Amino acid sequence: MGDALAIWLYGRHVADLTEPSRYRYRLTFTDEALDIHGEGARVLSLAIPVQHRPVSDHRDRRPVSAFLEGLLPEGSLRQHVASALGVPSIDKMAILRQVGGECAGAVQFLPTSAVPDGGTVRRLSDVQVTQLVGDLPTYHLHAGDLPQASLAGIQEKVLLTRLADGAWGLPEGGAASTHLVKPEPQLAVAVPHLVEAEDWALRVAERAGLSAAESELTTFGDRLAIVVTRYDRSPDGRRTHQEDFCQALGLEPEAKYEGMAEFERHGSRLSRLVRLAADRTASPAQFRADLLRAVAFNVVIGNGDAHSKNYSLLIAGSGEVTLAPLYDTAPVMYLNPRFKGTGHVIAGRTNIDWVDVHDLVAEGVTWGMPRRQAESAVRSTLEQVHEAVAATDLPPGTENIRARMDALWAKRSWAVSG
């Protein structure tokens, strides 16, 4: 089944990954991880506590696969790497050997004989980076090389490192990337002006006082792209660990949208996430309020794609958890009214058209928030977002967002006077 991979986290060898049977994986924590973090610590994933016994995939439960899938790309990049390696796209071990040195968060997958050494960054000329971004989702790298960094998701994007002089480089051998570059989709009929709208929404969030990823719009040749600064990387390349809500709950990426059947069986997915994460934060009350503000923002901004892979947690080396900044948030509902899903079930609702203040408050209450505190968090978010929208110019081609937004805000009684 192939050689094992060593799993490194914050520069420590914390576990080994093996494949005892085809496409079923086993994660075994090291003595070092047990000595430093202790039995039950959740530093690698909230779904996989540090333990003496190996954690293995089984027919009905695949916790290791779910964690790994959350780190790997989907779609065309996954197919491109797998085809070049001559392996099936479901062969996680083979793909991780290629791209696992640079993943989301602070985790790295390396050959068992290797140690993290910082890797190298290959400088790209303006022509090379323009071609690289312009050709996505097809990757054209120098001499037919393959990418050596992994970022989950279905959208076409590339991880790059910003050099000191402002040029771009390609991370190799486990070097840290600093930015992700996501160009306007080549077939942008369904959601036109997506990257411009995403950049606008992130600036609205920041202006409204929410924690949001930094972004800017850049043109590569004739292709517009949003360039997002990685919040899990420092300018000098230090990594901060993170995982998305799917990984934290042990769910595979294809389960990223919560359905009513799951809600009726297990209750709100967000409430389950809060029960798992809140007590690992410095302030459980603040964590609940921050998450409710983020959920309220995604609803009122019209983000019809706010699923469990578009929220993440940051996990410090001590195991302390915080909510990651907002990312992948865009007013897609106002660009195309077909996209109205909430991503998560919110107080029994799955359609943005039908979520009101009382639903958002009721959802927060299921997380253990006092009703008055939940209502204060929601109403203050509405007011701050309303002011931020008014103060943030819309990019050309998206001007109708404001009229559509005003109409829905009035319909749902979200509009704030002033």
For residue 235, the model assigns a pLDDT of 81
Is 305 part of a structural domain of the chain? yes
**Cβ atoms 47, 248 nearer than 8 A:** yes
Are residues 97 and 217 both part of a single domain? no
Are residues 390 and 246 both part of a single domain? yes
Are residues 47 and 75 both part of a single domain? yes
Strand partners, 109: 7
* Cα 253 to Cα 152: distance, rounded to the nearest angstrom: 9
Q: Which residue segment(s) compose the domain that 132 sits in?
A: 120-229
Is 234 part of a structural domain of the chain? no
Is 372 part of a structural domain of the chain? yes
* Cα 208 to Cα 202: distance, rounded to the nearest angstrom: 10
Give the catalytic positions in this structure. Answer: 305
Helix then strand then coil, in percent of the chain rounded to 5, is: 35, 20, 40
For residue 108, the model assigns a pLDDT of 97
Are residues 277 and 382 both part of a single domain? yes
**Cβ atoms 17, 91 nearer than 8 A:** no
Q: How many structural domains are present in the chain?
A: 3
For residue 417, the model assigns a pLDDT of 46
> In sequence order, which ranges of 278-399 are alpha helices (DSSP H)?
284-300, 332-335, 357-366, 371-391
CATH of the domain at 312: 1.10.1070
Is 378 part of a structural domain of the chain? yes
Is 135 part of a structural domain of the chain? yes
Last residue of one domain, picked from the residues 45, 79, 111: 111
- Summarised one tens digit per residue, pLDDT across range 256-295 is 999 999 999 999 999 999 999 999 999 999 999 999 999 9
Last residue of one domain, picked from the residues 111, 139, 157: 111
Are residues 48 and 191 both part of a single domain? no
Are residues 376 and 259 both part of a single domain? yes
For residue 375, the model assigns a pLDDT of 97
Are residues 18 and 99 both part of a single domain? yes
What are the residue ranges in the chain where pLDDT is below 70?
1-2, 140-145, 153-155, 187-189, 415-418
Is 393 part of a structural domain of the chain? yes
* Cα 282 to Cα 128: distance, rounded to the nearest angstrom: 45
Are residues 91 and 176 both part of a single domain? no
Are residues 389 and 251 both part of a single domain? yes
Are residues 276 and 356 both part of a single domain? yes
Are residues 12 and 36 both part of a single domain? yes
**Cβ atoms 289, 373 nearer than 8 A:** yes
Sheet containing strand 5-9, strands side by side: 55-56, 24-29, 12-21, 5-9, 107-111
27's enclosing H/E stretch is strand 24-29
* CA 142 to chain CA mean position, Å: 28
For residue 415, the model assigns a pLDDT of 61
* Cα 366 to Cα 347: distance, rounded to the nearest angstrom: 8
Last residue of one domain, picked from the residues 164, 194, 229: 229
Is 249 part of a structural domain of the chain? yes
- Summarised one tens digit per residue, pLDDT across range 66-95 is 999 999 988 777 887 888 888 898 999 999
- Collapsing DSSP states into helix, strand and coil, what is residue 187? coil
CA-derived radius of gyration, the chain? 21
Are residues 220 and 277 both part of a single domain? no
Is 418 part of a structural domain of the chain? no
